[in-house]
A and B are shown apart, each in its own frame.
Chain A
Amino acid sequence: MTESSWSVERAARVLLDAEQDVEAQTSIVAEWDELDLRTAYQVQDAALELRKERGEVVVGVKLGVTSKAKQQQVGVDSPSTAWLTDVMVLPAGEPVPQDRMIHPRVEPEIAFVLGSRLEGPGVTATEALAAVKHVVGAIEVIDSRFSGYKFTMMDAIADNNSSGYYVSGPVSVAPEQLDLSLEAVLLEVDGEIVDSATGAAVHGHPAEALAFAANTLGERGLALEPGWVVLTGGMTDAVPVRPGARLAAHFTSLGSISLSGG
């Protein structure tokens, strides 16, 4: 494909088709060097419009690259946001839909359900937390449309931050009842603990990640709406999910989530 053949609309369609066809792509940035941060979010928003056209409904927002370790790996110094729609909700007890995913990986996360609207810029972590109705644990099953997870930050943003599915945990807790910086998770694969982390790994505190989401959306004239879910970003590194794997995330106060690898 030549450089000139790329456009926001084309990139959005290519990535959605890749998701639909379960077929990995190569980096778009490699062919289209005009894909900067602004354009990448335009691709993401254009893909959202296409999703809405086929009947999907926005249910929230997810953050990516919220840990310092991940930011250093990818070579960026701030997180990014992406859209969650109703088709990305994986009901508790459902296996990872391997046939609809290219190369799924799981990450345990802290999720917020919003009680009131949050509109940036200028939102602080304290204000952000005040808008939270309750906190739940979550396992996000991410999937990249790029082969071998080889992508730049711009590719990833255009690709809706490697969105896939997410499962919510069984326990809802009011935010003032938790010390989210010490809320911990143990990640198990086939009964073995493979990693652990706390909420502090998420942009210093999950509420900081929430404030970041409100502020970065605010720059685009968008807001976080009441009832939305915000996935604040992987607490641990993402772990590949083999078919047949048994996964579990155990949170300090947010309960445990089990997930079959499909």
Chain B
Amino acid sequence: MDDAVHLQAAAVLEEAYSSGVPVPPLVESFPGLTVEDAYAVQQVQLASRLEGGARVVGYKVGLTSAVMQAQIGVDEPDYGFVTDEMVFLENAAVPVVRFLQPRVEPEIAFVLGRDVAGPVTVAELLGAVEYVVPALEIIDSRVADWKIGLVDTVADNASSGAVVLGSRPTHLGEQDLRLAGCNLFVNGALVGTGAGGAVLGSPLTAALWLVNTLGARGVTMRAGQVVLSGSVTASVPVAAGDTVSARIAGLGTVTTRFA
């Protein structure tokens, strides 16, 4: 499809952000929209954010679990961008009014120590990772009732919302991210458990897919940028007043609260 359609679709999503009113699936409003179109729609939104002074601080990988991929009917993950205004400090109040239908996921985040341009091997990627931190991703959908397929979630920046990074960086060193346990709590109650391997077999696989997929599109990941590698458990809905924390073996805890 041509650029005009991409601009129109991006405008529909941007309107949903500013009005707070979710929109019908884009595949209904723009029949024939492909995954490539959807990434172009994502790019249009990124360009307008950059124009507004935002900067890219990292990327998120989505659709990384077997359950999610089966739900959406895909066998590959997707990605979205993370800009500086999407990052919240640990324990700082996150205003839920920023979101339309927020949910939270516990994740393992990689922070790069130097630039990486895909294609790279997993060994090269490991060499570029400065540290890992536990993270909470607030996912959100501008599409009503989360009625998303692959095209809709890609166009909608991989259903991203915001990110909270834990305060304790850990060197990858001897961490076994694949078998690291993760417990997710909302208001002190256990709501989900999992192991790092729930993310594409290993969070490293997700990070490698991202770096190489971006590389194929001519995008270099920069030192200091963050890779959110995908949810270890099923996501849970959150509301104002909720406190959410995730504990990941070897990496510690990350906590956020919603106001």
Residues of A within 8 A of B (CB): 68, 179, 181-186, 192-201, 204, 235, 250-252
Known: A186-B197, A194-B66, A196-B195. 19 other contacts (CB 8 A): A68-B190, A182-B182, A182-B247, A184-B180, A184-B182, A184-B194, A184-B196, A186-B198, A193-B198, A196-B194, A196-B198, A198-B182, A198-B195, A201-B190, A204-B190, A235-B193, A250-B179, A252-B179, A252-B181
Say yes or no: B183 contacts A181, CB within 8 Å.
yes
**Smallest CB gap from B198: residue in A:** A196
Residues of B within 8 A of A (CB): 66, 176, 178-183, 190, 193-198, 201, 232, 247-249
Hey, which chain B residues are within 8 Å of A185, CB to CB? 195
Say yes or no: A184 contacts B66, CB within 8 Å.
no
Smallest distance from the beta carbon of A62 to chain B beta carbons, Å? 20
Say yes or no: B193 contacts A186, CB within 8 Å.
no
Say yes or no: A193 contacts B183, CB within 8 Å.
no
Smallest distance from the beta carbon of A30 to chain B beta carbons, Å? 33
**Smallest CB gap from A194: residue in B:** B66
Say yes or no: B201 contacts A193, CB within 8 Å.
yes
**Smallest CB gap from B250: residue in A:** A182
Smallest distance from the beta carbon of B229 to chain A beta carbons, Å? 14
Hey, which chain B residues are within 8 Å of A252, CB to CB? 176, 179-181, 195, 249
Question: Could you show 15 A-B contacts with beta carbons less than 8 Å apart?
Answer: A184-B196, A185-B195, A193-B197, A196-B195, A196-B197, A196-B198, A198-B193, A200-B183, A200-B190, A201-B190, A201-B193, A250-B179, A252-B176, A252-B179, A252-B181
The residue in A198, A204, A252 that gathers the most chain B C-beta atoms within 10 A of its C-beta is A198
Smallest distance from the beta carbon of B59 to chain A beta carbons, Å? 23
For the complex, give the distance between the alpha carbons of A186 and B179 in Å.
7
**Smallest CB gap from B247: residue in A:** A182
For the complex, give the distance between the alpha carbons of A186 and B248 in Å.
15
Smallest distance from the beta carbon of B230 to chain A beta carbons, Å? 13
For the complex, give the distance between the alpha carbons of A251 and B195 in Å.
9
For the complex, give the distance between the alpha carbons of A58 and B182 in Å.
35
Say yes or no: B183 contacts A198, CB within 8 Å.
yes
Hey, which chain A residues are within 8 Å of B232, CB to CB? 196
Say yes or no: B197 contacts A182, CB within 8 Å.
no
For the complex, give the distance between the alpha carbons of A185 and B183 in Å.
12
Smallest distance from the beta carbon of A124 to chain B beta carbons, Å? 19
For the complex, give the distance between the alpha carbons of A185 and B196 in Å.
10
Smallest distance from the beta carbon of B55 to chain A beta carbons, Å? 35
Hey, which chain B residues are within 8 Å of A196, CB to CB? 193-195, 197-198, 232
Hey, which chain A residues are within 8 Å of B183, CB to CB? 181-182, 198, 200
For the complex, give the distance between the alpha carbons of A250 and B201 in Å.
12
**Smallest CB gap from A256: residue in B:** B179
Q: Which of A68, A183, A201, A250 contacts B197 (CB 8 A)?
A: A250
For the complex, give the distance between the alpha carbons of A252 and B248 in Å.
12
